[in-house]
Structure 1
Amino acid sequence: MARMVARGLRLKRSTIIQTGVNYQQYYPSYLTPALLSSSSVIIVAEKEIQQQLVKEKIPRLQQWLNTHKIIATNYKQDLINNSTLYVINHHDWLDLIINHLLDNDIVTIIEEAENLPDIITKYLSQEITSQDWYNLGLFFPHHQNFIRENLAKLTKLIYTHPINPYNSYLLEEEETIILRQLCNLVENEKNHQKVLAKFIHFQKALSENKKYINYFTVNRSQGTFTINSSPLELRFSINHIWKNVPLILLSNYLESQKYPINYGECLGLNVDNFTCLKFSPDGESQNLNLYFPHNFPFPNNPEFQNRVTQEILALVSSLKINHHPIIIIIDDVPLQAQITSNLAAYFGSRVQLNSLNIGENSILVCDIKFWLNYQSELLTPILLIFATLPIPSLENPLIGAQVAHYKNQKKDWFRLYLLPLAIKILQQSTMSIRKNQGVIALLDNRVNYRSYGVNILRSLEPYAKINYVDLYWQ
């Protein structure tokens, strides 16, 4: 990997590397050539990793390599000729590249590139809060009654929506009409575009709703809501920013193939212009033990809840020693609460729900988002249980809108969108457990009886199928 990064830096050749591990395991492989390079280099990482790199990892590596490269957290073009290593966060980097403030001759290394689509989507999204509505009333004092009346109508409509796990909903026609009337207030205010930027953006998003996902998020406990707008297809918003920019994209997993075509298409990148490398798990040292029972009810079967509860209790009880935690991933909120309660009745305070405070003998019940966000910070589990396959829910408005977009194009939305996303989530969530050849239990019988189950199992290779769980030998 280090040789590939060094080659990309030397030739300014764009590269995509799928490492199969998280950044804690691969960071020396890109930092070393970046520090030894005679040219300036940009490293883009999330703020927490940026701080770790600047304060801990880079100084330690510089001392060991005996290098004296300038380290900076703010990009300045006048430092480029001084062989500087810039370590900046995603937001600052996007500000630079979208406004064409980066020198095209400098290579950019992007950490955790698997998150890049979500990061760019968040950057390009707009959110209107209650404070923004208040500011709008101050800006248009003669229209305050009009704003209040329409906000009251909008609030009433929003709170009639049934509760869902995401507290988010796509805007419906009546809500869109009200928002369009409110946003029309800014139509002729050309001299105050900066002050009214959010409303100007929403006016455009509402008029071009086939290009945007327009939705709202409710915080029922606080009695507030926000109106949100995100681009439907990133490539149309950002494909121009990649021109002549040498990139080295480092990720844990993007796709099953070496050339991540769908990933590139999402970002407007032509992967044919990239050198691509994909590391596969070592067949001996990173073999998974995979347990998936047959004759198990499907998740939509009324019997599933009781059967999955019994199976999880049996699996957890099968652990004879407690040197590693057990992780149970459940996205369904009522089922998550029931299983947590049942486990606590048997195992007491060992059971934790969505908590970072776990020990070697803990049993952690969490959703997939929590696990993906924090697995690198938690102790490596010996048993990882999935109650269901991590197929994204259509109740999530962002997922639902993407599925509708595929349907409108008459494309196979499941095999082209939901299934690759589920495989990606499964790959990313099982990386830490490979280190100690732990056990993954898939309690979703669709893996046995649906045609796409073969794709799911193939993505987990190398693995050894087991018919029962006996963890005493661990």
Structure 2
Amino acid sequence: MEVLVHQQLRAYLRAVGGSDWPHHLTLARLVARTLHLHRDALMQISGQATYHYHHTLSYLVPLLLLPGPAVLVTCPATQQYILHGQLPQLLEFLPIDKPVVTAPTWPDPNFQGLLLITQADWLRGMLAATPGIPSALPTVIDGLEMLETTAQAVLTVKLTPGNWDELTRSFPQARQAIRDVLIKLIHEVFQYPRNPYGCYRLSPLAIERLWQLLTELVAINSLNLPQAWQQWFMMLQKPQHHCLLADPDPNYGQITLYGWPLNVRDQLQALWPRQPLVFLGQQIELDPQAPLLRHRLGLSGLASINLAFHPARAQETLSLYLPQRFPLPNTPEFAPYLQAQLGGLLWQLQARSSPPENPWFAVVIVDDLPLREQIAANLAASFGSQVRVEAPLRSERGILICRWQYWVAHSRALPIPQTLLVVTLPIPSREHPPVAARIEFYKQQHRDWFREYLWPECLSRLAQIVAPIRNQNTLLALFDTRIIHRSYGQDVLNLLSPYEPVEISQVNALEPWLEELKLEAP
């Protein structure tokens, strides 16, 4: 099996003119071996390979050449690329006649081909009371870094105003009690202080009211309780293990409730022994063993091969600008100095791109909403309509100011930036209600919520931010000097490696900005 995969993939690469990624044959042989021997493997892939879908070729060939049925689990974007980008050529080149289908569940008991299925559909099928996917099928799961978030989305239970009407119809004798709880809940949620996230954690009092109501209804007739309410009733038994949120709609004076488990390990760890698995994804942890992710996904008891494919130094070296003398993000001096530094860098970028018809494009990533508004207003005063805030560019010239999620979601449709400026490390905000609930959950278990949750999530986000600019002659500027002054900053430098430090002399460029802001040069 290994030899066959190696020969066919090598012949295919020669036929199409090769590839920029050097690990194709190694990864393909490892996938072929683990699938053939029905073993498990966990592989992290650094650099731009996952962003450009280079690595998909390395598991498609073994899956297509593997005798018998198999399953490929990916995110929707990867699935579309495979279907329209690589699969047609591979099926034409390889000496096989294996059917390939896309479906939300297993198509037929006698199906002997390759099923392409999204992570969400696969999890729904595997978590169902009657699994929609047969056991013991060789399975490749790509996009490991998104699996926990996808599982939480699949396990989320939503209560809309229509669900309250359904509950009233199921228990007409308790109509007034249901109405009273709903009114009190709506009144309380609309009294919460406004936050930029638009959602709010339920208070202990609100949780107690819901619990008492559902307990009384179950005592009347548990069989009449609708399914969504049954799931909420189970969550309310252990509210500290779940994230329970309210999403108010001020236009209609209504609320929608959301609930999902903070720990998906218990639900997922029962799925892994059912089939041989190959997990692939972006670099999630610096340790190839990925101990934190394995714990969160219930993979701790799974004996597997753990590998990390690192970027090629000659091809994917980053140009990194990291200012040495700069205020820390949690100080009042940070915002004005940041605006001066951004202004100076962008003026230099614009000057270097002359004549004016030459394209120049810069991306400023800032997640803090008030700071994002300040930066946008300040830059718009100098660069005018070239500044866009999470909106399509009018041309290939301009400055895009956005959150990290926007950049990751839209980077493939945007020009390659000459400069990518990251204001602060993308550490999840403790003000975000789901993040606050997760931190509280870790505290209750006496676990290190920073090292086990916030910091790994930050590194994963940073890897996604940087992936599009590897090997693109783009300057990466990081203004968060915690990378220098905190012990965990070395993790960032290890993640960005290979990189080439860049020194930028900005005294002349900064002077007009500093004078306007009435600051002294740092």
**What amino acid sits opposite 1:198 in the alignment?**
A
Shift in Å, 1:223: 4.2
Note if 1:183 corresponds to 2:206: no
Secondary structure, counterpart of 1:79 in structure 2: coil
Q: Deviations over 1:445-470 (max 9, x none)?
A: 22222222222222221112222179
Q: For residues 285-332 of structure 1, give each alpha carbon's deviation from its aligned partner in whole angstroms, at most 9, with x where no partner exists.
A: 211111121332222222222211111111112212254531111111
Q: 1:105 to 1:415 in 2, by over 3 A?
A: closer
Identity %: 30
Q: Which amino acid aligns with 1:96?
A: G
Q: Which residue does the alignment assign to 1:108?
A: 139
Tell me what 1:448 maps to.
484
Q: How far apart, in 2, do the equivalents of 1:458 and 1:358 lie? A: 37
Distance 2:110 2:80 in 1: 21
2:316 maps to amino acid: Q
The answer to whether the Cα contact below 8 Å between 1:114 and 1:251 also exists between their aligned partners in 2 is yes
Q: Which residue of 2 aligns with 1:392?
A: 428
In structure 1, the partner of 2:509 is: none
Q: Contact conserved, 2:241 with 2:441, CA < 8 A, in 1?
A: no
Within the alignment, does 1:161 sit opposite 2:192 as a pair? yes
Do 2:393 and 2:400's aligned partners in 1 also have CA atoms closer than 8 Å? no
What is the alpha-carbon distance in structure 1 between the residues aligned to residue 301 and residue 318 of structure 2? 31
Please state how far the C-alpha of 1:34 moved relative to its aligned partner: 1.5
Change (3 A) 1:32 1:297: same
Give 1:402's match in structure 2, choosing from 438, 442, 451: 438
Distance 1:264 1:451, change over 3 A: same
Provide the rounded CA distance (Å) in 2 between the counterparts of 1:8 and 1:387.
Answer: 42
For residues 185 and 130 of structure 1, do their structure 2 counterparts lie closer, same or farther at Cα, with a shift above 3 Å needed? farther
- Against the structure 1 CA distance between its residues 409 and 190, is the aligned structure 2 distance closer, same or farther, given a 3 Å change threshold? closer
Residues 179 and 114 of structure 1, relative CA distance in 2, 3 Å threshold = same
Could you report, residue by residue, the CA deviation over 1:40-90 in whole angstroms, capped at 9, with x for unpaired residues?
A: 11111233443443355322321232532111223135234x3x0101122
Cα deviation, 1:161-219, whole Å, max 9, x if unaligned, reads: 111222222221221122223333541434345xx111111112112123222222334
- The answer on whether the counterparts of 1:330 and 1:336 sit within 8 Å (CA) in structure 2 is yes
Measured in 2, the distance between the counterparts of 1:64 and 1:116 equals: 32
Alpha carbons of structure 1 residues 379 and 162: separation in structure 2 relative to 1, 3 Å? same
**Residue 34 in 1 paired to residue 60 in 2?**
no
Amino acid at match of 1:260: A
The one of 161, 168, 177 aligned to 1:130: 161
CA contact (8 A) 2:45 2:282 kept: yes
The aligned residue for residue 174 of structure 1 is: 205
Aligned to 1:459: 495
| 2:14 aligned partner | none
Structure 1 residues 440 and 56: alpha-carbon distance in aligned structure 2, compared to 1, 3 A threshold: closer
> What is the alpha-carbon distance in structure 2 between the residues aligned to residue 324 and residue 115 of structure 1?
32
User: 2:56·2:82 contact (CA, 8 Å) conserved in 1?
Assistant: no
- In 1, Cα distance between the equivalents of 2:374 and 2:439? 31
Q: How much has 1:118 moved relative to structure 2?
A: 0.3
1:284-433 aligned at under 5 Å gives the runs 284-319=314-349, 320-321=352-353, 323=359, 325-357=361-393, 359-433=395-469
> Secondary structure of 1:318's partner?
helix
Partner of 2:266: 236
Amino acid of the residue matched to residue 88 of structure 1? Answer: I
Q: Structure 2 vs 1, CA of residues 242 and 298 (structure 1 numbering), >3 Å: closer, same or farther?
A: same
Q: 1:318 to 1:94 in 2, by over 3 A?
A: same
- Summarize the Cα distance change of 1:169–1:430 in structure 2 as closer, same or farther, 3 Å threshold: same
Residue-by-residue CA offset, 1:388-441 (whole Å, 9 max, x unaligned): 111111112221122222222333222232122211211121011112142211
Matches within 5 A, 1:87-106: 87-99=116-128, 100-106=131-137
Q: Secondary structure at the match of 1:210?
A: helix
2:280 to 246, 250, 254: 250
Separation in structure 1 between the aligned mates of residue 244 and residue 474 of structure 2, nearest angstrom: 42
Residues 253-305 of structure 1: per-residue CA shift (max 9 Å, x gap): 21111111111111101376111221111112211111121332222222222
Aligned ranges 1:254-293 → 2 under 5 Å: 254-270=284-300, 273-293=303-323
* Distance verdict in 2 for CA 1:94–1:389, change over 3 Å: same
Q: Secondary structure of 1:441's match?
A: strand
Match of 2:30 in 1: 4
Q: Which residue matches 1:18? A: 44
* Distance (Å, rounded) in 2 between the aligned partners of 1:441 and 1:145: 59
What is the CA–CA distance in structure 1 between the aligned matches of 2:392 and 2:67, rounded to whole Å? 42
SS at match of 1:217: strand
TM-fit CA distance, 1:246: 0.9
For 1:347 and 1:318, how far apart are their aligned partners in 2? 13
**Where does residue 121 of structure 1 map in the other structure?**
152
The code of the aligned residue for 2:416 comes to T
Aligned residues: 466
Select 2:99's aligned residue among 70, 75, 82: 70
CA distances 1:232-270 after superposition (whole Å, capped 9, x unpaired): 211122211212421111212211111111111111013
Which amino acid in structure 2 is aligned with residue 362 of structure 1? Answer: G
Q: Distance in 2 between matches of 1:394 and 1:239?
A: 28
Which residue does the alignment assign to 1:59? 88
Distance 1:469 1:261, change over 3 A: farther
Amino acid across the alignment from 1:214: L
Partner amino acid, structure 1, of 2:334: F
CA contact 1:104–1:246 (8 Å) conserved in 2? no
SS in structure 2 of the partner of residue 338 of structure 1: helix
| Larger Rg, first or second structure (1 or 2) | 2
> What amino acid is aligned across from residue 261 of structure 2 in structure 1?
P
CA distance in structure 2 between the aligned counterparts of 1:420 and 1:381, rounded to whole angstroms? 26
CA deviation string 1:130-175 (max 9, x = no partner): 2211222232233323222221111111011111222222221221
Report the secondary structure of 1:376's partner residue.
helix
Structure 1 residues 22 and 220, CA gap change in structure 2 (3 angstroms): farther
Please, what is the CA RMSD of the aligned residues? 2.2
